[in-house]
Amino acid sequence: MRQSSQNELPYLETPRGILSRGGLFFHTTVANLEESYGEVLDKVSLSRLIDRAELWLTSHRAITLWSMIPLLAFASIPVACGLGLVVFVLWKSIAPALGNGWLDQPLRLLSSVAGQLVGYVVAMSWLGATENYPALIAGLIAFAIIRWQLLDYFLNPVTSQLHRRLFPLPVHDQMLRAVIHAAAIRLRIPLPQFPSIARWMETRNGEAER
């Protein structure tokens, strides 16, 4: 296990790949990542990048949980549940292509278990005070099945098929690569193995020098 600093999360490198503390497996090695993305890893630790990948890979649950509150408050239960499923599947499907560093902090706030509990206590209390008991019950059920990852389990055949169609890599690897690419763009580090990104960064660096 690699020793972590105050701002790092540890990970375990195995003969088959990298296992994060959160239990996510990446089909690559530290040596391969350093060979391909050495300049990025000189500026941002791999532990931090893996932490960000984990955040994005689990963010669909937080996004859906918070979306359900206004949906249940202002839409009928069937419409709210239907739109909630759309949000869940859509965000889980497109997240591996994102990894934007500017959204990390908002996602961390939305993913806070304490924040979610407080938000749902307030929202469910309001629904109870307005005697909207069907929405209150639906909200409690939605909270349970999303937090306990039951929705992930039931919708995994759908989201896995979408991931296979959308991305060339396994979803965890795709997410880590997206996070690394986002960090490279933010730090203005060209990636020669991806010519379009390299050309874009060369243009940006040229404009900055003028």
pLDDT in tens, 43-65: 999 999 999 999 999 999 999 99
**What are the residue ranges of helices labelled H in the chain?**
30-43, 46-74, 77-94, 104-111, 113-129, 133-147, 150-166, 171-187, 195-209
Task: Tell me what pLDDT residue 98 has.
Answer: 84
Which one has a higher pLDDT value, 191 or 82? 82
**Contact partners, residue 36, CB within 8 Å, separation at least 6:** 193
Q: 24-42 burial by CB neighbour count: b if 16+ within 10 A, else e?
A: bebebeeeebeebbeebbe
Task: Tell me what pLDDT residue 115 has.
Answer: 96
Task: Tell me what pLDDT residue 202 has.
Answer: 44
Domain boundaries in the chain? 11-209
Residue 206 has pLDDT above 70, yes or no: no
- Calculate the average pLDDT of the chain: 86
